[in-house]
Homo-oligomer: A and B are copies of this chain.
Amino acid sequence: MGRVRDALRFRDGKKNAVKPGDFPVGPTSKSNAAKQLQATADRLDQLQEALYASASQSVLLVLQGMDTSGKGGTIRHACGLVNPQGLHIKSFKKPTRTELKHDFLWRVRRALPTPGMIGVFDRSHYEDVLIAKVDSLVEPDEVEKRYDLINAFEQELADSGVVLIKCFLNISREEQRKRLIARLERPEKHWKYNPADLDARSKWDDYQDAYADALTRCDTDTAPWFVVPSDHKWYRNWAVSQLLLETLESMDPQYPEPSFDVEEELKRVKAAN
């Protein structure tokens, strides 16, 4: 299934086997990662164009992680390697009133990538079994039901040609502290800071448990979870770009056959004024 996919694939209980600061596969230095990223960019570019041209399958990259784990940075530096015309990025915020009137998957269905596109979810339906569980926004048996609904939904996506890559950007508690402090010490990063982030931080262990449950209950072969060590931003960006690359390689998108006679059209163009 691909070297990086295999190394980072979540398996029951393995969530904590790879530490947030580890390099379980690939480069172990920033400069090596940067070199590899350029080769990846060229290959991603080719594969994305074929995916877009074929317009049959699509990719959905789901990014989840604690505050400051780098969902935005991953989009900027890993997804930023891809032609932006082929990306469909959706950030899921606190549900609006309208969204709350519908079932939790309603807004997710509306944001799915169309065939040929690479969809990117900055947070996702998993918030509905994470914050919903930690803050007891719903009853425990509703959370249980949602795992099943998510699995059914993701199977439905897989059946319709949407290939899922679900990434848990795994940072350590200590790294989060550093990043929160950095946001406060740099005026141009103040806008990224939210006092409420500390409330979530105070429930760190509860969130880790909720992630462990969600990953365990919703890791399937058709919609696997990957645990991305994210204490080092350059490693996180490299890893996600590789997951994207290996996934596209395994999909092997093909340019469509032309619906016209190529030789005939060449003659027409050359004869035209």
- A-side residues, CB < 8 A to B, are 49-50, 53, 72, 75-76, 79-80, 82-85, 87, 89, 91, 122, 177, 180-181, 184-185, 187-188, 190-193, 195, 198, 201-202, 204, 255-256, 258, 260, 262, 265-266, 268-270, 272-273
Contacts and interface: CB of A to CB of B under 8 A. Distances in A.
A191 B256 contact: yes
Contacts of A180: 269
Nearest to A267: B184
DSSP class of A's interface residues: helix, strand, loop or mixed? helix
A84 B122 CA distance: 12
A93 to B, nearest CB: 13
Contacts of A50: 188
A75 B270 CA distance: 29
A155 to B, nearest CB: 29
| Residue among A122, A190, A258, A266 with the highest chain B CB neighbour number at 10 A | A190
Contact of A49 (B53, B188, B260): B188
Contact of A75 (B85, B190, B192, B258): B85
Contacts of A198: 265, 268-269, 272
Nearest to A87: B84
Contacts of A190: 255-256, 258, 262
Nearest to A201: B272
Contacts of A202: 272-273
| Residue among A53, A195, A260 with the highest chain B CB neighbour number at 10 A | A195
Contacts of A255: 187-188, 190-191
